[in-house]
Structure 1
């Protein structure tokens, strides 16, 4: 008898079911003005279905996944006053805005950008707004951001503003208002890009489902707009950074890499005859434009702050001559101050003849009598803050009322009162559920190739920590969100990558600033120095402390090994050679940062890595920034460190393209290794050396296996010295290092075309000749000391030739200007 077929089983996992449950549970608790509740449900449902497909029913997993993608890209930031970077906090839930609502926002910010451009041009030009009474003179000249040296100066191309940002807030009734203008050095565009990358890797199908507008066209337009203002058809453009201690340095490095800009610091640049040059290993190379992230008052000590140590003397003269573009123009930040917000409605009418499409939050500048009285009478309902600097909203609310009123009466022009801003909320993952949190939106604008404003479709959201917060500042406990502008029309897959058949192929990696070459040289030296010191510590631990390692070294050899570690400045000499004393000595040499320990050397390497993010892979940066091992046993910690050094060496050898940066890195390694081996041979390989001395030398040179394979009958001094010092086939020998040093120097640029060797090349050739003509039987301490001294002189010669810094003559003989 036939049996009835069983109905098909339901799918084990239904992403739509999870998405509907999340949304229903959230909407019961969220405020009515929440972005999810107030918007169309279909896009949010599609987004949460995509999230469920990735995280199943575990929202916490989704948060960890998107955070891991951000960490893989090296995204981080630093709070001012903190030494360590924090991971960039990304929410897995993007903010969704449809194209209809976004069109109104974009039109409003473009109008505001045009207004600000005309106002700043007037303030530093004719000054009609002050003369006609539209603006009080004290509002302008009393601002610390007004730069008098810029008055009357016409910027290249006649434009002051090139890249700006606005912080927007969405009110409970759905209206958008401007919280702040960012005109000096707007931060966050790189974070918006990284948020998109992290969320895109997590929610891979969202782009196609919602037709999310892409960021790449905005960045392409910005790069084209900056190039269009330059006087050369193939300009050299740099991103001027304050350096790695700046809170948003990781973002700056990411932007420079993404846009193909040269990441430079003030010390990398020099002004000469109204031109600006970058100091490179090939001489001075002309810079045509700088996207500056440096405080304008620190740009040029000859024009602004004379105490600035990070600016470029003469930069403003070159700017005034039209030979370098600065984005944005110094002095534009005068319009950033909260006091200016009080005058924006009047400025829109006076300059544009129309009201603001995006209103500014209501602001009263206390420099006017009526405004001061209004603020004093409404202290309980207004937020009181400084007039000429941005601080988190509400900081002045906690000031004693009497003291605030007294200071307000004494210096009213220093204060503003602003309405307390209530923010709309959006969903964010807290724990394992969705919670409503207030947000603000940072929107970015840049000038395109035609000089018009282009708006980044989205920007990034900043999410408050508490449900009742009125504004948010990125910090502990806060999150950022990708902002997706979606609509019914398909979006073309635009990328910054050039069409495959239109790109001119080249193998020149581009300009290498002298500072970067210096960093890579010392990165190689520090890594080699740390690995050599760790090797000595491991020999000490294995032969004198670990009872299972075999024979203990005799006191004479042990004393010399201790002396080598002490001579490196890694630890203080132990009182005795007892096991306990040597254990403490080894621990100090590994971990005590009061000495030149392995930990301290690693910290120096990490510092260089942090400042070279634009040229190092994320894997390399992660290895350099990894915390010091914490295993219980010292041998285990030492082994962990050794494996880390081996991984870094492998990345350097097999994954770094053979550019000049790699050549300096390798050059530093070779010089440091040759010096270390020369010292080791002098200590453990001279006439009268014991078997234990020679075995220790083989350990320090990592050549035990090579020696045993070559000489199975036993250890002999001359054979050991030949292998460790003079064998050109041993990658640990001095001869191998000197040959590679000469090769690296031959590959670096020279300043003259007479085909004569430069000093560093001549010194390397002479050193290699001494090594390859030496014989192991007669290689004595004096010869080894001379080799070590020559290596030090060679390192100094490399630094003098390639690492141009400070006050070196800009017209040095043969110096190339290009």
Structure 2
């Protein structure tokens, strides 16, 4: 007789059914699960239960961990540190039939926004015939007068738009806001999908979820179609790493294969725009800008802008560079324009809006103002043009607000309060209904037609009204999955097999990026060298007779080395307790160039280079400073982190120019540290160094104790130690090894001239290697080592002048390449 095993009492289906039953007993009637069939939600919750069993809190932690692994983050203005992107493990599910209506409305609205923008900056018929008042346009700070009369390349002002939607209690969708200046969030939608897909791996096939990749493919093709060259160079123009959505921008640039550039990377020359690269100026054809348009060009807009590109708008006017979106399109973002959108749809399209705009009254009109004043308690009062009026900014009383409305009515709008539909969110260890807003994106494809991203991203809040829309404290984002009965063809941004020409050149390397990688290498090596000195000072030598019992003369030199690095103030004496406090300051004091400060510099560079660094590298750079109780334990933890970063750069970074500059920075910094250590601890003069304790310390600082003991088991002698640390080409910590690698890197980097003559950085590298190659361990002296340090500094300056073109660097340097 065969024993029958009963089905588990709490399998995934059981958990999912119990979650849904409990949730529906508390969810309001306008919740998304009530909106349609429960079966798709049941399938999703079964996937969630298969991952997290009965622990919804574990599911939330798991999807958040995936988002962190992807590198998703954001910054609230005023924050010094990035925050992890808050992702809900429960996606928003929308049926494909309902989505078809939403997508049609979004396409219609995108076309309306394009036509209105073209008229405002072109013939101006809408104002001339009275369809909209002139003050709506000319009174807006978002209207850019210098753009009037300029025809955008390809004749289109908009290539990418974002639209915020709210679902009301009866299931209707309405537009809350349009985003045209620099629509943010598409990257977060992509990252949400990646995080949720890694958590709910089987959901894609179960529900036939539509993919994002075709949307991004169409958008990239749409920008390329507007460029004059058949193989255009396209960049994503970012304000930089302090922008709240910089991580999203870096992710999008990497995903789309765009060049992530800042204003300082670009130069306008003779009517064209170029990116400053290590190989000279390279033509750039299009920019997907995430920079405030008023900061784009100080010659055209804000003269105080230090992050724009002088002459960019002239090149745009000549049709030599595409800007997506066109500067000035943001005029339609003003809430006051929402009051006129139904009229504009009739005038420009000859049809009503498929997605109605939230009811809005611009108070510039007497009747509209009267309506707002009469319904003040039932409306949301907001700024007409995006900037808070005085009455709102000062949190005025009702009487003060009415008085300010009477003084400057054109500064205000009144909007209906929209009650939002809810969706399930994990709060604690259970599902709770929470209101949400959906941001949807539309892009112009290569065929000039609008394509809508299937989904977007949801923002989950606490308040049932539509006023809470920003991601921040207490808010979450959600993946938005469009599902249907038909299987979805797998599509990605990867090109079809065998359709790409193979190349090993990774492409354009902007000078700023090369600069960052160079200094990342220098800072990491500087931190490691400083940490080594601190560890030796605290007694971490493997030499049984050294370390903790170092004589005062050797300790004084170690202290001098650390003080000379700017890591801490000179201690009052060399007692053990004083040295421990000194070491702690050199490790952690942010007021000096301590290890913690050096780490902060490296972390900042990592944040600015995340589009070119692996997630593991970024995670190590952003790891918090160790907090172990003992100083040696803290130092050891940091040393292992440095070793892990070095291992990643040595074994995982492709040997391209980015890696070469990173390794070049490491080699120059290590060579400088080795020369200083040799001068202090390895010279023959007993007053300067060369004794047993000094030599043992030198081997510790050069991480060469084991190599020396294996080679010379009988004891320590000065000449063999100096030869190993300074002149042995096979020792990866030696001065000679660094010089050889430096010369190799410099010889491989691009040059500007074609006369086959050495450039300054190459000549300096050759001279440095010759100085070390002709030295002898027995006669090596402090003067020669000082000369080596000076040569290294001169070489570093020459590399910076040649490759790190920034600021006022002449654009017409001799031999400068224009391509």
Check whether the contact 1:545–1:583 (CA below 8 A) recurs between aligned residues.
Answer: no
Q: 1:189 to 1:506 in 2, by over 3 A?
A: same
* Superposed displacement of residue 24, structure 1: 0.7
Show CA shifts across 1:13-54 (max 9, x none): 421111111111000100000001222111111111111111
SS in 2 for 1:177: strand
- Report matched runs for 1:350-369 at 5 Å: 350-369=347-366
The root-mean-square deviation of aligned C-alpha atoms, in Å, is 1.7
Q: Which of 47, 61, 66 pairs up with 2:63?
A: 66
Can you give the 5+ residue segments of structure 2 that lack an aligned partner in the other structure? none
Task: Tell whether the 8 Å contact from 1:167 to 1:440 is kept in structure 2 after alignment.
Answer: yes
Specify the alignment match of 1:762 in structure 2: 763
User: CA offset at residue 395 of structure 1?
Assistant: 7.0
**Equivalent residue number for residue 726 of structure 2:** 725
Pairwise CA distance, 1:9: 2.3
Counterpart of 1:410 in structure 2 is 407
Q: Distance in 2 between matches of 1:546 and 1:27?
A: 70
Contact 1:566 1:572 in 2 (8 A): yes
Match of 2:697 in 1: 696
Looking at structure 2, the residues matched to 26 and 391 of structure 1 have their Cα atoms a distance apart, in angstroms, of 39
Match of 1:742 in 2: 743
User: Structure 2-normalised TM-score?
Assistant: 0.98
Matched, 1:313 2:310: yes
Q: Which residue of 2 aligns with 1:114?
A: 111
Runs of 4+ aligned structure 1 residues displaced above 4 Å come to: 394-398, 466-470, 543-551
Q: Name the CA shift for 1:505/1:275 in 2 (closer, same or farther; >3 Å).
A: same
Aligned-pair CA distance for 1:471: 3.1
CA distance in 1, matches of 2:542, 2:714: 28
| Residue of structure 2 equivalent to 1:668 | 665
Q: How many residues align?
A: 814
Matched, 1:339 2:339: no
Per the TM alignment, residue 747 of structure 1 is displaced from its structure 2 partner at its CA by 1.3
SS in 2 for 1:372: helix
**Equivalent residue number for residue 514 of structure 2:** 517
Measured in 2, the distance between the counterparts of 1:310 and 1:83 equals 20
1:545 deviates by 15
Alignment match of 2:281 (pick from 260, 266, 284): 284
Q: CA deviation at 1:709?
A: 1.1
> Cα–Cα, structure 1 residues 668 and 783, in superposed 2: closer, same or farther, change >3 Å?
same
How far 1:568 moved relative to its partner? Answer: 0.6
Deviation at 1:73, TM superposition (A): 0.4
Pick closer, same or farther for the CA change 1:321–1:711 going to 2, 3 Å. Answer: same
Take 2:392 and 2:542, find their aligned partners in 1: how far apart are those partners? 58
SS in 1 for 2:68: helix
Residue 789 and residue 584 in structure 1: after superposition, are their counterparts in 2 closer, same or farther (change >3 A)? Answer: same
Retained in 1: the 8 A contact 2:12–2:53? yes
CA-to-partner distance for each residue in 1:281-340, whole Å, 9 max, x for gaps? 000000000000000000000000000000000000000000000000000000001000
Contact 1:543 1:552 in 2 (8 A): no
Distance 1:533 1:5, change over 3 A: closer
Using the TM superposition, give the Cα deviation of residue 8 of structure 1 relative to its aligned residue in structure 2, in angstroms: 3.6
The answer for the alignment partner of 1:40 in structure 2 is 37
2:772 maps to which residue?
Answer: 771
Cα deviation code 1:397-451 (max 9, x no counterpart): 9531111111111111000011111100000010111000000000000010111
2:549 partner SS: coil
Give the whole-Å Cα distance in 2 for the aligned partners of 1:303 and 1:657: 41
Shift of residue 7, structure 1, vs aligned partner: 3.5
Picking from 620, 628, 633, the partner of 2:630 is 633
Give 3-state SS (helix, strand or coil) of 2:401's partner. helix
Q: Secondary structure at the match of 1:576?
A: coil
1:275 equivalent among 272, 280, 285:
272
Distance 1:663 1:395 in 2: 54
> Residue 253 of structure 2 corresponds to which residue in structure 1?
256
Cross-structure match for 1:753: 754
Q: 1:603 offset after TM fit, Å?
A: 0.2
**1:241 and 2:238 are equivalent in the alignment:** yes
Matching residue of 2:680? 683
Q: Tell me, what secondary structure is at the counterpart of 1:355?
A: coil
- How many angstroms apart in 2 are the aligned matches of 1:646 and 1:137? 64
TM-score with structure 1 length normalisation? 0.98
- In structure 1, what is the Cα distance between the partners aligned to 2:545 and 2:345? 82
Equivalent in 606, 611, 632 of residue 609 of structure 1: 606
Q: What is the alpha-carbon distance in structure 2 between the residues aligned to residue 505 and residue 785 of structure 1?
A: 47
- Stretches of structure 1 that go unaligned for 5 or more consecutive residues are none
Residue 56, structure 1, aligned to residue 53, structure 2: yes
Query: 1:526 is matched with which residue: 507, 523, 535?
Result: 523
